[in-house]
Structure 1
Amino acid sequence: MADFGGDTDLEAFRQEARAWLEANFPASLKGKGSLATSEVRSDEPDLVAWRKAMGAKGWGTPTWPKEYGGGGLSPQQARVLLQEMTRMGAFNPLMFGMGVTMIGPTIMDYGTEEQRKKHLPPIVRGEVQWCVGYSEPNAGSDLASLQTKAVDNGDGWTVTGSKIWTSGAQYSDWCGALVRTDPSAKKHEGISFMLIDMHQKQIEVRPIPLIAGASPFCETFFTEAKVPRDGLLGQLNVGWTVGKRLLQHERASQTGASTGAKPPPPLSVVAKKYLELDGQGRISDLDLRTRLVKHEMDAKVHGLTLARAMAEAKGNNSPGNAASVLKNSATNVAQTRAELTLEIMGHQGLGWQGDAFTGEELESVRSWLFGKAMSIYGGSSEIQNNIVSKRILGLPDTTQST
């Protein structure tokens, strides 16, 4: 690839990216970005070929350093690449699991050089899948109450306890988990972040069914699971800092930034397929029309704010305050769209199976149900509002007694 340093010739890079995508992206995958964002690493032949091509090029992790297999692109080049992928209906095939969005960036932040060289290249190539072990049955929003413990056994640590809501654990090769390594320490201390190999008999995974049908969520049980010395990420007993950093990366990844898949059509276009129109070709229901316009305005404002946050992050690897604001904004936009979609489709938006419903209609009801989880995972909406009010706006904590 040409060297685009300094004031990058973005148009030259655009032509190079376009030519490479046209030569390597399988036409059969056009517009099928959902194949890549599911929790499971698909073995569909064309998707496997696309994953290998993007992994070898490093463009599935475009801004990661080349020394770990990444693309080594500037943020501007990565944005051009995304634009070209979107234009042709291509997508990032490495978005399954949590390696690219959460674990990988956290390893770059806190890992030793040996840990980076061991774990990052397989993530870049799409060869491994990661999950995150945070919540426990009695430690959800109050995560610092976690009780899964790691005991020093001389060669490393022995982990015993359980996690819940571990997304994609049934498919994962590795788990990044918070564990208690010093039970005598204060609540937020004595916690460490460990990289745990999921391929051992001391770990049992039980999927949790959801109303939407397929579920990514699991219970995960550790019964003296083994973690070697190089499985500790960051400092011993200082894992709370590492864990918070991962959550920053998670929230940044949940703000609605595209993976290259073509965005869905505006709801006003969908509505005209199902609803009565007036003589001017507008939706007859004035109230619904007003709510659709408001939703499209909210979606546009969210997109512009996301673009501004990305521009402000230029040259700064630390997710900023906008990630906390945008997470709730993205949730509101997505959940409102799902609600309006079912209202527009009427009875056709209530189907679960059968030939009386199109694939789009069946997917809409499942998306509506699964979308309820958006305001819970990655930090509930209430917690995000507390973060915004106290840490960003500096408002007083009214929950404390005077």
Structure 2
Amino acid sequence: MDQRALDTFLKKFAENQHTEQEHERFITWLNALPEKEVERLLDQYGDLFRALSDHEPAKHPELLNKIEAKIDTMELDNEPVHIKPIRRSHKKYFAVAAAILLLVTIGVITRKFAGKHDLYATNAIAQKIIPGGNKAVLTLADGSQIILDSAKRGLLASQQNISVKKATDGQLIYDASGQKQSNQSNDQLAYNTISIPKGGQYQVVLPDGTKVWLNAASSLKFPVAFKGKERNVELSGEGYFEVAKNKAMPFRVAVNHTTVEVLGTHFNIMGYGDEASTNTTLLEGSVKIISGDKQKLIIPGEQARVSDGIEVAKVNAAQAIAWKNGNFNFAHENIETIMRKVARWYDVNIQYQGTTTHEGFVGTVPRSENISEVLNALELTGLVHFKIVERRVIVMP
């Protein structure tokens, strides 16, 4: 399809004046189009349909499915999907689209810019709600606490010949180089707990060299020194683990009556109490999931979901650790799931008014943006609107 024919078809499509034969020719052409060409169309034709107000993409399921498949393919390459708002080039990234409205990527969508949303009326308040950052409280074995985000870099404490340090980049490091190795299981274990508030995140290097990234509203309890035949820690919330290899001492994470057992591997655990399941996603190595009398092994690219039982599914593992890499990644998620993520990261309360959409949203938005950026991107789908009162986000249809 040449440029003139494409322009003609898209204008007809925008006005719902195209024929079924023209639509079929367009679908055939789009099916053979490389991803880069699809991305070029996103930019080229965004302005063409900004005046649209009432369009029904469900009438064209083939095109809808094609655009959604293209977006999923780009996500598998770990590249953010960019949906740019009309004439708002100062917004860095807009990557959220409802699955039912993915035609926005070709410009064919309801974009209700007539009249200002409630969010814009309270934009000054929204700008004050900044993204989370490195915040945590460390509770030592004797009960004393250290506020890590305000603590000076360097040595923070010494326990059982283990030096607890805050590195130059802010991460917490347990240095066991001064301790003599002991595998006696009857040696007394002293525990520390690192707690991450809403609006926080933190990275810790455990005494065995295991690296852990903790998401907002999470905590990790671990021994000052690993002794005996096992390395046991307790997680609440969400964490990404890069476990140091040690065949003689399996590493076990206890979370929500579930145990994740490994020797040395990379995986993410999401175990918030307000979520429907505890999800373990494997990126490297192998992992055993134990829940009650049930056990399952998973391989890289799989996710184990524990609720009443254990279900294993193939997933895009990169999506599970998007938070660790500084992004929100919405993979066909409903608005309630998305707003729970928003609430944890921005430390806000969520309230719902009216009947909200049940559609799934797809896309990626940087977590470094203020809350207004995320909410504006969601509003651009036309499916949901927001109002902010102090630190309360009201979600409306």
TM-score calculated relative to the size of structure 1: 0.26
More strand by share: 2
Structure with higher Rg: it is 2
More helix by share: 1
Structure number with the bigger relative contact order (C-alpha 8 A, sep ≥ 6) is 2
TM-score calculated relative to the size of structure 2: 0.26
